[in-house]
Structure 1
Amino acid sequence: MRSLTLVLLWVTGMSHGQIISLSQLSGRTPIHSQCQYLADENHELTLEDILTDSMQGQFREAPEEVLNYGEYGPTLWLKIEVAAPTDQVSQPWVLEVAYPFLGYGLFYSRQPDGTWLQAQAGSEIPFDSITNRSPAHIFLLPSPPEETATYYLKIGSRRGGVIQGSIFLTPEGAYRDYAERKHLYLGAFFGALLIMLVYNLFLAVSVRSVTYLLYCLFLGFHLVNRMALMGYLSYLTEGWFSNGPVVSFTLRAYYLAATFFAIRFLRTRRTMPRWHTVIMAFVAIQVVFLLLYFISGPHPLFIVMVPPVCIVLLISGVIALRRGRKEAKYYLAGWTLFLIGLIVYAGKTMGVFPATEFIEYVTLPAVLLEVLMFSFALADRINVYRFEKQEAQARALDIATQKENLLAEQNALLEQGVKTRTQELQKANDLMRNQQEELIAQNERLQQQQEEIEAINQNLEYTVVQRTRKIAEAHQQIVDFAFMNAHELRGPLARVLGLNYLMKLGAVPPGEVPEILAKIDESAEEMDQVVKKITRRLEKSEVLNRGKERP
């Protein structure tokens, strides 16, 4: 762009620029096409260099209606020749460089004593050093003391950047009227944006909506961007914030917030997953440009990203509308109006449209309408949510009623079941109680029997001991009886048997028979005593008694 412009400057010829007749000016008039230009590629020329004949011969006429030198253009020297008014009262004039991003502008006017007076303006000039402090870059141009006067304006940027805009020359009184109208328009515009910001911020806090918060960020960045773009930010903060860097940052943040707002508002992840991937790619690119801004300053290629981002967001609205999202119609209308305003403003900046007040401020109603449409979209979405919520509540109430009826039926069945089960359990409990009582009775009987058995066992042991003792005594008696039978009874019986045997053999002489018989009687008597003795002992013993007791 810069090389093409320089070639155009060269091929337009060596002719001198037109002399601007102040008598023919009747308001805020663009004069760029009536000036002569000299491009300082190396940014080294001074006023003394410009005043030399060699440099004067290098001035060329402007090929365009506006300044348009693209990114990182040269430092420009503008030669302005003015003819004094012949039929008007002498009055000061205002020279305005209508380019908010102007790095610096040095205006040189020749004094009656032949010296050159320098006035300065621009975002790179310290606020206290600006000659005429105003939201716009202006220089006071006194009425030429002679028939014609020549002025020089040096514009450029120490950081480099776009040189693009218009130069206006306006009578001081007319400029005051224009400035008042401008302040009124912009004050109403900024006030409306601020009111919308505060209102939506209140809604964001009230409803705790991330979508509303993103919309507030979008609105806030837009407000600050417009204030810096119109030159008011640095003017109101007395130089604390420079318009150029703030515009660069807020422009990037503004489109990034707008993209995230579109993602949340249109629910692109759920309603258009494939297109959501495209949007996220643009988000990544915007984040890269934002990081580059903090690392190395504003990158010139970002401006190329603005139209595609706007188109992507516009297409997102179309897709959402086609897929039945009613609130997307307001979103789509807002972006459409904004794009129309942006196209008209860009056309004015590039000289396609005339630099009138209407064209200059056409973006203001477009932005307000965009903000309004977005607010309508959010409000419509809230209404949709409210309607959906009411429907959901009605469905929930119906479901709750059905659940309540079902629960009542289930409770009735459950109650009947519980009652039946309780009766069954009661019967089972009674049966178990009876069984328990029976078991207790059986247990008592078993315990009683156990006690009896224990008592019997104890008595049996005693009985066994006693009987054992008695058996031992009986045994001893039997032994004694056997002893008596063997010894006391056997002796007399043996003598009787022996004497009887001798008599049977006839071995006893007849004369000894009486003696033998006497011996037999004596032994029989002895046996009778022994038998009586045994009988008495047996009568005393339990053995005999038990024998008598048995049947």
Structure 2
Amino acid sequence: MRALQAIILLLAILAALAPASADTQVRLTALSSSVPLRPFTEVLEDPAGELTLTDIERPETATRFRRHAGDGDLNFGYSPTTYWLRLTLAPELGAATRWLLEVGYPSLDSVTVFVRHGATVVRQHAGDQAPFSSRPFVHRNLVFPLELAPGSEQQLYLRVASSGSVTIPLTLWSPAALHASDQRVYSIMATYFGMLLALGLYNLLLYFSLREAAYLAYVGVVASIAVAQLSMLGLGNQFLWPDWPAWGDLAIPLGFCSTGFFGALFTRLFLETRKASPRFDRLLALLQAGFVLAAATAVFYGYRPAGMATALLGAAFAATAVATATLCAVRHQAGARLFLAAWSLLLLGAALTALRALNWLPTNLLTVFALQIGSALEILLLSFALADRINSARRALAAAQAETLSARENAVETLRQSEKLLEQRVMQRTLELAESNERLRHSEAELRKLAHHDPLTGLANRALLYDELRRIIARGKRSGDMFALLMVDLDGFKLVNDTHGHAIGDQLLETIAARLQECVRVSDTVARLGGDEFVVVVEGVLDEEQALAIGAKLIVTLSRPATVDTQVVQVGASVGVALWPLDSDDLDSLLLAADRAMYLAKEGGRGQCCLASATVGSAPDQKQNGE
């Protein structure tokens, strides 16, 4: 009985672990109105783009179709590969015969649909590189009408290729259901583009009234977003440039590059970054140049690299603009908080859209409409920011007028006394602030020195050494140059402490530190790890012989007698040398390799220099105290 129970339990576990069989057929009933096709879609990659329908229907090729892991719409990012999709449609008796297959990403270059009815194949084609009039169905998205025979299975294939983001949202609609969905979507889009138009006209009128460049820059942002969104949503291809597919293909990258360019310009003007934060101002100017270069790449080189560059620049700009606004808000700059709230929403939407285009985020309702949602909320908040800016200007003007009237009513002598008193207070306050700033700078300098330098010798401590090594390794990876890490341990230092006292020992360590710095270049790094252990990092080392020569030089220099407080003392040195990247390309491993080499030098009689490549086995269990 127990054996039977064990067998039943084992079978239950195996059944739970076995993958569930997924239904590959799209079953359509009389009640079906819309069916998301992602769960039923099988994918075949065609990197060369040379396969035909006859090729993929061959048994040896048909078995290569696979389900694509993930949720949401199919998204392959900026992939140069051609993709074949396979669907099996199984309308039941009583199901409708007329259906509409919607590919809800109108910026795809080429989508071809093949439907096999026995020996007959019905072929339909659409894409943003063909005139809108050539589409089989009038719609902003790529829609293909299907005639299905209830009670029989039909095989459907899609061939998809695009130089942009290969995102393939697939939905099968009844005509009435698609029409009802379109009414809701078009209502939302009309509201969205109406808000963009209202904001653009409002800021344009403000520019003509106030003549401030920030308002004109924001008009550029709104116009650029509108162009990019009209193309991305398919409305531009349908209504504005139906016979100009070349422009429709470039409108998305150029629109977003223009949005980034004018957005960076608006940020610089509105937040006055040239005065408030020159570093961020230079970074924003650099991003502007990047957007111009990405736009030129789209026009003269190719869509795919330009689209990827635009997506990455958009994410970088989002982070930079938010950081700039945060800094200005912390400094209580006028309008910065409202700008931060408004612009952050828009940039968050842009970042989500860019990351979705790169296939770093899944395609869902939030990521699809992230830019529209963010920009709509940004419109509302930024309106308050602009109004607050106007009110601030009015308040400043009113205050200036009141001050002028008050000044005219005062007597000349009173004005002179007030000016004299004001000058004294300003001078006093200026001196106090200057002294306070000087004390603060001095304190900050002392804190930085204590945090990164050894208090006895003034050399770099362990923390600063690690930071310098990370920077040196980064430079080495870019240039391919090798550097040497020398672990130096004093021989006989414990005897000096025991014989002459720790005060003499400390002064000797200061002398040793000075000698180490004299042995290397100013650009090289010398650090004290603790006790009588030092590290020297020398960049631009050519080979092991040069590294050994440096170690030998250190040993000779450190072994010279030193006069410390009328006492003549002498120590030796053992040096372990590790070369990057020959011995290790990892920071911790490199230090460990040099430390083992130094132990080997001590075991060999001390006063020697040993390469890490010569070490065999592990170092001794622990170092002797003071040695």
Band the TM-score falls in, shorter-chain normalisation: 0.5 to 0.7
1:366 corresponds in structure 2 to 374
The residue type equivalent to 1:332 in the other structure is L
Alpha-carbon deviation of 1:394? Answer: 1.9
1:152 corresponds, among 153, 157, 166, to 157
Write the distance in 2 (CA, Å) between the matches of 1:25 and 1:167: 19
Tell me, yes or no, if the aligned pair for 2:311 and 2:354 is still in contact at 8 Å.
no
The residue type equivalent to 1:306 in the other structure is G
Q: After TM superposition, list the pairs within 5 Å mapping 1:317-336 onto structure 2.
A: 317-336=325-344
Question: Are 2:74 and 1:67 equivalent residues in the alignment?
Answer: yes
1:208 corresponds in structure 2 to 211
Tell me, yes or no, if the aligned pair for 2:110 and 2:125 is still in contact at 8 Å.
yes
Most deviating of 269-278 and 35-44 = 269-278
1:138 corresponds in structure 2 to 143
Counterparts in 2 of 1:167 and 1:286: CA distance versus 1, 3 Å: same
Alpha-carbon deviation of 1:301? Answer: 2.5
Counterparts in 2 of 1:346 and 1:216: CA distance versus 1, 3 Å: closer
SS of structure 2 residue aligned to 1:152: strand
Structure of higher RCO (CA pairs closer than 8 Å, 6+ residues apart): 1
SS of structure 1 residue aligned to 2:285: helix
Unaligned runs of 5+ in 2: 1-18, 416-627
Question: Are 2:198 and 1:195 equivalent residues in the alignment?
Answer: yes
The residue type equivalent to 2:248 in the other structure is N
1:173 corresponds in structure 2 to 176
1:385 corresponds in structure 2 to 393
1:7 corresponds in structure 2 to none
The residue type equivalent to 2:318 in the other structure is C
SS of structure 1 residue aligned to 2:286: helix
Write the distance in 1 (CA, Å) between the matches of 2:362 and 2:108: 21
The residue type equivalent to 1:295 in the other structure is F
Tell me, yes or no, if the aligned pair for 1:17 and 1:61 is still in contact at 8 Å.
no
Alpha-carbon deviation of 1:387? Answer: 1.0
Counterparts in 2 of 1:283 and 1:321: CA distance versus 1, 3 Å: same
Question: Are 2:79 and 1:85 equivalent residues in the alignment?
Answer: no
Write the distance in 1 (CA, Å) between the matches of 2:32 and 2:341: 39
Q: Show CA shifts across 1:464-519 (max 9, x none).
A: xxxxxxxxxxxxxxxxxxxxxxxxxxxxxxxxxxxxxxxxxxxxxxxxxxxxxxxx
1:223 corresponds, among 222, 226, 229, to 226
Counterparts in 2 of 1:354 and 1:262: CA distance versus 1, 3 Å: closer
SS of structure 2 residue aligned to 1:58: coil
Unaligned runs of 5+ in 1: 1-12, 408-551
Write the distance in 2 (CA, Å) between the matches of 1:359 and 1:315: 23
Question: Are 2:103 and 1:100 equivalent residues in the alignment?
Answer: no
The residue type equivalent to 1:311 in the other structure is A
Write the distance in 2 (CA, Å) between the matches of 1:385 and 1:115: 73
Between structure 1 and structure 2, the one with the greater Rg is: 1
Write the distance in 1 (CA, Å) between the matches of 2:107 and 2:363: 20
Write the distance in 2 (CA, Å) between the matches of 1:392 and 1:344: 45
2:236 corresponds, among 233, 236, 249, to 233
Counterparts in 2 of 1:106 and 1:334: CA distance versus 1, 3 Å: same
Alpha-carbon deviation of 1:38? Answer: 1.2
The residue type equivalent to 2:329 in the other structure is L
Q: After TM superposition, list the pairs within 5 Å mapping 1:461-500 onto structure 2.
A: none
Q: After TM superposition, list the pairs within 5 Å mapping 1:266-285 onto structure 2.
A: 266-285=271-290
Q: Show CA shifts across 1:186-214 (max 9, x none).
A: 11111121122112212211221211100
1:115 corresponds, among 111, 120, 144, to 120
Counterparts in 2 of 1:26 and 1:204: CA distance versus 1, 3 Å: farther
Counterparts in 2 of 1:360 and 1:25: CA distance versus 1, 3 Å: farther
Question: Are 2:125 and 1:125 equivalent residues in the alignment?
Answer: no
1:504 corresponds in structure 2 to none
Alpha-carbon deviation of 1:58? Answer: 1.9
The residue type equivalent to 1:301 in the other structure is A
Alpha-carbon deviation of 1:333? Answer: 1.0
Question: Are 2:319 and 1:311 equivalent residues in the alignment?
Answer: yes
Question: Are 2:251 and 1:243 equivalent residues in the alignment?
Answer: no
Tell me, yes or no, if the aligned pair for 1:34 and 1:62 is still in contact at 8 Å.
no
Write the distance in 2 (CA, Å) between the matches of 1:352 and 1:285: 24
Alpha-carbon deviation of 1:359? Answer: 6.3
Write the distance in 1 (CA, Å) between the matches of 2:214 and 2:378: 16
SS of structure 2 residue aligned to 1:64: coil
SS of structure 1 residue aligned to 2:29: helix
Write the distance in 1 (CA, Å) between the matches of 2:164 and 2:349: 24
Q: After TM superposition, list the pairs within 5 Å mapping 1:283-432 onto structure 2.
A: 283-298=288-303, 299=306, 300-342=308-350, 350=359, 355-356=364-365, 360-402=368-410
Alpha-carbon deviation of 1:53? Answer: 2.3
Q: Which one has the bigger strand percentage?
A: 2
Tell me, yes or no, if the aligned pair for 2:250 and 2:298 is still in contact at 8 Å.
no
Alpha-carbon deviation of 1:400? Answer: 4.4
Tell me, yes or no, if the aligned pair for 1:321 and 1:329 is still in contact at 8 Å.
yes
The residue type equivalent to 2:38 in the other structure is H
Write the distance in 1 (CA, Å) between the matches of 2:361 and 2:146: 28
Write the distance in 1 (CA, Å) between the matches of 2:402 and 2:23: 78
Tell me, yes or no, if the aligned pair for 2:28 and 2:95 is still in contact at 8 Å.
no
Most deviating of 20-29 and 115-124 = 20-29
SS of structure 1 residue aligned to 2:137: coil
Write the distance in 2 (CA, Å) between the matches of 1:361 and 1:214: 24
Tell me, yes or no, if the aligned pair for 1:16 and 1:36 is still in contact at 8 Å.
no
Q: Show CA shifts across 1:103-125 (max 9, x none).
A: 0111112346x321111111012
Write the distance in 2 (CA, Å) between the matches of 1:269 and 1:99: 41
Tell me, yes or no, if the aligned pair for 1:102 and 1:122 is still in contact at 8 Å.
yes
Write the distance in 2 (CA, Å) between the matches of 1:342 and 1:29: 29
The residue type equivalent to 1:148 in the other structure is E
Alpha-carbon deviation of 1:290? Answer: 2.8
Alpha-carbon deviation of 1:84? Answer: 0.7
Q: Which one has the bigger helix percentage?
A: 1
Alpha-carbon deviation of 1:287? Answer: 2.7
Most deviating of 299-308 and 98-107 = 299-308
Alpha-carbon deviation of 1:164? Answer: 2.0
1:58 corresponds, among 51, 59, 64, to 64
Alpha-carbon deviation of 1:283? Answer: 2.4
Counterparts in 2 of 1:84 and 1:106: CA distance versus 1, 3 Å: same
Q: Show CA shifts across 1:264-320 (max 9, x none).
A: 000011111232222223223223223333332442333122111101001111111
Counterparts in 2 of 1:29 and 1:390: CA distance versus 1, 3 Å: farther
SS of structure 2 residue aligned to 1:42: coil
Write the distance in 2 (CA, Å) between the matches of 1:22 and 1:338: 41
2:47 corresponds in structure 1 to 41
1:429 corresponds in structure 2 to none
Alpha-carbon deviation of 1:244? Answer: 3.1
Tell me, yes or no, if the aligned pair for 2:84 and 2:158 is still in contact at 8 Å.
yes
Tell me, yes or no, if the aligned pair for 2:91 and 2:153 is still in contact at 8 Å.
yes
Tell me, yes or no, if the aligned pair for 1:32 and 1:67 is still in contact at 8 Å.
yes
RMSD value over aligned CA atoms? 2.8
2:25 corresponds in structure 1 to 19
1:499 corresponds in structure 2 to none
Alpha-carbon deviation of 1:362? Answer: 5.0
Tell me, yes or no, if the aligned pair for 2:74 and 2:167 is still in contact at 8 Å.
yes
